[in-house]
Amino acid sequence: MGRRALISLALLLLALPPVLPVGAQEAAVATWRVGDRWDYNLTVVSPESFHTGSLTVKVTGDGTVRLHNESVRAYTLSISRRERWEGFNITSTITRLVDRATLCTLFSNTTQTMTLGGLESRWTTTEYYSPSDGRYQFPLGAGLNWTASYGVNRTTLTSNSRKTEDIDLSRALTCEVREGLSVPYGRHMALRVRCTLDDTGNYSRYWYSESVRGDLKVEDYDRVTRALTTLALTRYSRAAEAAPILGPDTEKALVLATAALVFLCILIVAMFIRARPPKPPPPVTQEEQGPPAFTFESSRDGYSMKVNTVELACPACRKRFKVMATARTVRCPHCGHEGKRG
């Protein structure tokens, strides 16, 4: 091979796009944070009409839920959908539980309100999926095919009726290609998934993008109404990462740390009490005693007994008299007045 041919081959190789290994072409399941948000433009096009609206998805919870007598780690999504069409205002408020490990739907509760002038109608639909709607299969890569078979327990409530039904569904899904896609939010690489529901002719296509951790665009086609509903991402915001101390895996550590802190405080108090010198006992106070009733005095003839007396003034006649020093109740010898000594 000549020198000119080698140069031409080198230039050709440089012009070709780099080929990534198969593993790099696959998308792993995304992790969401409470506060993550996706905003979409909504359009509905059919032979009879064209109308627009908006849809907002927010992650409002991340924790363990109880479904079908099992505990599942799931995200809670709050979804708001608004449409306007020929005077009709349609508002849908949706609460959805999404399996954290697969991003597939486990439960959905939708309240839809339609108004036209002063008229209003409202209905609520609750759906339990078993095991899930099988929307994704990770790792997701071009050429992947899978089938999602599941049951739906659906209850519909209106102002005057209630309907409950159990439905078995099957979806055929194919991850067709990885491609660049432009939406109002910008141009991003995405994996295009096509979903066909049974043999109804209805289908969905959605473009999963790792850069937005979710759908970049969604198309739903209804064969009966020939309506194509399209969602295109206009804004994506990622919530700030929670502090590690607030993570779900630290709950046990926090409990143990709190218990250890309490024990340490008790130990310090006990050591402080033990180190303090003992408190001296309070001095014994003796009650004040009055003079004795009598005393003995020495004399030339030996000892003689002397009665101790005190002189008092009668509060009635004002005359003075003497009584024994130990007397508590006294009587005036002049007027007969009685009373207790103060």
What confidence tens digit (pLDDT) does each residue in 223-268 have? 989 999 999 999 999 999 876 555 555 556 666 777 778 778 787 8
Nearest to 191 by CA among 212, 222, 221: 212
Looking at the fold, whether 299 and 225 belong to one and the same domain comes out as no
Of residues 272 and 123, the one with the higher pLDDT is 123
The backbone torsions φ and ψ at residue 269, rounded to the nearest 5 degrees and listed phi first, read -65, -40
- Residue-wise pLDDT tens digits, 142-189: 999 999 999 999 999 998 899 999 999 999 999 999 999 999 999 999
Looking at the fold, whether 88 and 186 belong to one and the same domain comes out as yes
Q: Give the span between the Cα atoms of 174 and 143, in whole angstroms.
A: 7
Quick one: CA torsion of 67, 68, 69, 75, rounded to 10 degrees?
-20
- Residue-wise pLDDT tens digits, 76-102: 999 999 998 888 899 999 999 999 999
Looking at the fold, whether 315 and 237 belong to one and the same domain comes out as no
Kindly state whether residue 197 falls inside one of the protein's structural domains. yes
Cis upstream peptide for 333 (omega within 30°): no
Q: Give the span between the Cα atoms of 180 and 152, in whole angstroms.
A: 34
pLDDT at 108 over 70: yes
Looking at the fold, whether 222 and 312 belong to one and the same domain comes out as no
The whole-number pLDDT of residue 160 equals 87
Cis upstream peptide for 315 (omega within 30°): no
Provide the pLDDT confidence category of residue 219 given band limits of 50, 70 and 90. very high
Looking at the fold, whether 186 and 311 belong to one and the same domain comes out as no
Q: Give the span between the Cα atoms of 165 and 153, in whole angstroms.
A: 6
Looking at the fold, whether 234 and 311 belong to one and the same domain comes out as no
Domain final residue pick, 241, 263, 286: 241
Looking at the fold, whether 159 and 221 belong to one and the same domain comes out as yes
- Residue-wise pLDDT tens digits, 10-42: 444 444 433 333 344 789 999 999 999 999 999
Q: How many residues does the chain have?
A: 342
The whole-number pLDDT of residue 187 equals 97
The whole-number pLDDT of residue 180 equals 97
Kindly state whether residue 37 falls inside one of the protein's structural domains. yes
pTM of the model: 0.65
Kindly state whether residue 141 falls inside one of the protein's structural domains. yes
Kindly state whether residue 251 falls inside one of the protein's structural domains. no
Domain final residue pick, 225, 241, 257: 241
pLDDT at 7 over 50: no
The two structure tokens encoding residue 334: 């002049």
Looking at the fold, whether 308 and 163 belong to one and the same domain comes out as no
Cis upstream peptide for 17 (omega within 30°): no
Kindly state whether residue 229 falls inside one of the protein's structural domains. yes
Domain CATH number, residue 216: 2.40.360
Looking at the fold, whether 236 and 99 belong to one and the same domain comes out as yes
Looking at the fold, whether 118 and 52 belong to one and the same domain comes out as yes
Looking at the fold, whether 206 and 330 belong to one and the same domain comes out as no
The whole-number pLDDT of residue 222 equals 92
Kindly state whether residue 289 falls inside one of the protein's structural domains. no
Kindly state whether residue 183 falls inside one of the protein's structural domains. yes
The domain in which residue 46 lies consists of 25-241
Q: Give the span between the Cα atoms of 76 and 103, in whole angstroms.
A: 11
Q: Are 82 and 270 in contact (CB under 8 A)?
A: no
Looking at the fold, whether 153 and 39 belong to one and the same domain comes out as yes
Provide the pLDDT confidence category of residue 320 given band limits of 50, 70 and 90. confident
Number of structural domains the chain divides into: 2
The whole-number pLDDT of residue 19 equals 38
Kindly state whether residue 219 falls inside one of the protein's structural domains. yes
